[in-house]
């Protein structure tokens, strides 16, 4: 494991107060491997899935003429779900999101919409409607790195449906979050209905 990933892993273990997450390694053609850590639920039943590898290199604007190997924003992606026992395939989907800076030149940031064009996970006897994630500020503190490197940010990834993704494109991320709030939508519930924004 390379720097800063050793620091990121230690930071995550300290945040969650445990050092034994499940680890799934995912590799895409032409990219370095990514891990997805699954921190087991505490009393609240919430499972945390966290990418490890996105922050290996700074994210670079694809229009930039030269890429600085040290300077630029760095991030990892955190997805939370409640009662995720029967869910499979989510680690690969989260790895796709985390690999998008290296594969597609995407710069991950709050309010960004990442569309996977297919279900984020599979679940027995359930049609999974979530096909994209909406990124936001997470609740894990930034991890400072040695200068001149930018700190690593931990962005929350909220699963959203195709209808909700269309709403985000039309009205913006804040309008979607307000609709969830006014509708009483629990975005951590993998079986939640889609919001019906007006």
Q: Tell me: the pLDDT tens digits for 79-112?
A: 999 988 889 999 999 999 999 998 888 999 999 9
User: With bands split at pLDDT 50, 70 and 90, how would you rate the model's confidence at 67?
Assistant: low
Rounded distance between C-alpha atoms, residue 186 and residue 82, angstroms: 10
Specify the DSSP class assigned to residue 62.
Answer: T
Calculate the alpha carbon distances from 133 to 20, 42, 88, 98, 119 in Å: 26, 24, 17, 11, 11
pLDDT (tens digit per residue) in 43-57: 788 999 999 999 999
Reported confidence tier of residue 1, pLDDT bands at 50, 70, 90: low
């Amino acid at each position: 494991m390379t720097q800063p990933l050793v620091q990121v892993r230690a930071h995550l273990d300290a945040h969650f107060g445990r050092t034994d997450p499940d680890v799934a390694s995912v590799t895409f053609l032409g990219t370095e491997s990514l891990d997805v850590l699954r921190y087991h639920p505490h009393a609240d039943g919430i499972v945390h899935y966290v990418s490890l590898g996105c922050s290996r290199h700074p994210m670079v604007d694809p229009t930039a003429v030269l890429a600085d190997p040290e300077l630029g924003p760095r991030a990892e992606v955190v997805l939370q779900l409640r009662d995720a026992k029967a869910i499979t395939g989510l680690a690969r989907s989260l790895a796709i999101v985390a690999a998008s800076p290296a594969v597609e030149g995407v710069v991950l940031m709050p309010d960004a919409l990442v569309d996977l064009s297919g279900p984020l996970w599979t679940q027995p006897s359930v049609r999974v409607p979530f096909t994209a994630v909406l990124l936001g500020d997470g609740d894990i503190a930034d991890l400072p790195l040695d200068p001149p490197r930018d700190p690593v940010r931990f962005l929350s990834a909220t699963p959203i449906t195709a209808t909700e993704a269309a709403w985000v494109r039309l009205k913006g991320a804040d309008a979607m979050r307000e609709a969830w709030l006014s509708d009483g939508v629990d975005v951590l519930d993998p079986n939640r209905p889609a919001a019906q924004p007006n």
